Amino acid sequence: MSKKTTRRNFIGQSAALTAGVGFWSGTSRISYGKDSALQGLSAACIGVGGKGSSDTSHIGEQGVNIVGLCDTDGGTLKKKGREFRDAKQYTDFREMLEELGDKVDIVTVSTPDHTHAVAAIRAMNMGKHVYCQKPLTWSISEARMMRETAAKTGVITQMGNQGTSADGFRESIEVLQSGAIGDVKEVHVWTNRPVWPQGKGRPAGEDPIPEDLNWEAWIGPAPMRPFKKGEYHRFNWRGWVDFGTGALGDMACHTTNMPVKALDLFDPIAVTAIKNPGIFEGETFPASSTLMFEFAERNGLAPCKFFWYDGGELPSEDVIKQLPEAFQKRVAQQREGGSKTSGAFLIGTKGTMFSPDDYGAEYQLLPKADFVDFKPPAQSLPRIPFKGAGDERQKWEFVQTVKGDYEPGTTANFDYAGRLTETILVGNLALRAGEGKRIEWNAEKMMSPNVPEVNQFVQRDARKGWELS
């Protein structure tokens, strides 16, 4: 049997294995890949600097042969090439995918948000298994298309919110779903982001494009603009609405992941920007904001309000005073100009849960006196047997699922991650609507029936040559 035929058959086997797997199902059968149905997996990695550098290395550490490296920055590409000397180098992922073709089983996408969908959808339609960084996409409609493409092609997928693979994350979900704190009617999540510039306009003028930067490919599907040194490439892109999704997009796939999964917080019925300086000159997200998402009753769960705070904004004092005393001191220091804090606080009818961890992997039940004798419920979610840091565990889970050696499947597959990303990005629509304006949301149709002017931002037309396909 030829190598090409083997890969095609294996993709079909993988699709059958994971059919119907939303977020954990089946039973665990671990063989650690020693007798994999397909030996010698290979990968092409798109975006190999920053987080993409570790994504590439971690995939390689799982025994996957890295055959292609792509980065628009020639310096970054050359540096990663010293680690994977046999990998062919590209500055345009379209060329890499076209040329490598059947030589690749896995594609990783670790680029700025605005190029996630165009790269990942192209790879999935080629039958490639895809690992894509969070947030899954730049726009709501792209997240929906990613879900649909993954379902249509049957490939294995995983979004890079590594906390999903932590034992503590899964235990906290079991605790919440056991009813330990009763019906949760309020969720408060705050972050120390942004740590990049926001609340500024586009700089005047332009600078020469560095010789080793493929600016055309970096811009990708976004509207073309002049290169300006230090403004967009390499890190500050997160604050610009054409390229990033702000503090909400950057961190909410981590920090809201636990309450979203535990409480089925998908598809809000409305979102309001309680504090909203607005999108600055149509260019960058505001330096700080506070949002309120409203969720109706869901599968017997009580209606719930979810509050998001970024840029140093914090919950009210009524909420803060319910936190552990040591953390209250950190908040007091923040208010006096100290380091910003992050946290997630869930308020139930029988108690509260607090997580100071961005990934929801640590939790406390409060007030402590009410939970002195508390014991976690029996385990109902699988635990990953691989020992290592969160990133490595998530890559193990992905690669072993691709091999067919891990039956529970990937935890942050695009069906789950797409719904999570859709839900979160509705918040950025509220930032475009104005302070205090309640945006009703029809998740099925991906549109607001009462504030139609925000619907134009649910999707955008890509530049020619960078369409979703």
Residue 183 confidence (pLDDT) above 60: yes
As given in the structure block, the two tokens for residue 112 are 């700025």
368 is a domain residue? yes
67: containing domain: 3-165+385-417
User: Kind and range of the H or E element at 93?
Assistant: helix 93-100
211 is a domain residue? no
As given in the structure block, the two tokens for residue 11 are 């993709």
Angle between helical axes of 140-153 and 116-125 (0-180°, round to 10): 10
222 is a domain residue? no
| pTM, entire model | 0.92
Residue 18 confidence (pLDDT) above 90: no
Q: Please state, in angstroms and rounded to a whole number, the distance separating the CA atoms of residues 259 and 357.
A: 13
219 is a domain residue? no
340 is a domain residue? yes
Domain count, the chain: 2
Cβ neighbours of 28 (radius 10 Å) = 11
Same structural domain, 154 and 25? yes
Same structural domain, 144 and 243? no
Q: What percent of the chain has pLDDT over 90?
A: 90
Rounded to 5 degrees, what are φ and ψ at 6?
-60, -45
Question: What separation in angstroms does the CA of 228 have from each of 47, 131, 180, 287?
Answer: 20, 30, 53, 21
462 is a domain residue? no
Q: What percent of the chain has pLDDT over 70?
A: 92
- The tens digit of pLDDT for each residue in 326-379 reads 999 999 999 999 999 999 999 999 999 999 999 999 999 999 999 999 999 999
Partners of 312 in the β-ladder: none
Same structural domain, 352 and 232? yes
pLDDT of residue 39: 58
437 is a domain residue? yes
Q: Please state, in angstroms and rounded to a whole number, the distance separating the CA atoms of residues 43 and 247.
A: 30
Same structural domain, 44 and 133? yes
Kindly state the average pLDDT of the residues 425-443: 97
Residue 81 confidence (pLDDT) above 50: yes
Helices and strands, number each (H, E), in the chain: 14, 14
Q: What is the mean pLDDT of the chain?
A: 92
User: Kind and range of the H or E element at 69?
Assistant: strand 65-70
Same structural domain, 434 and 401? no
Residue 8 confidence (pLDDT) above 80: no
Rounded to 5 degrees, what are φ and ψ at 158?
-160, 130
Residue 38 confidence (pLDDT) above 50: no
158 close to 410: Cβ distance less than 8 angstroms: yes
Same structural domain, 406 and 426? no
Terminal alpha carbon distance of the chain = 30
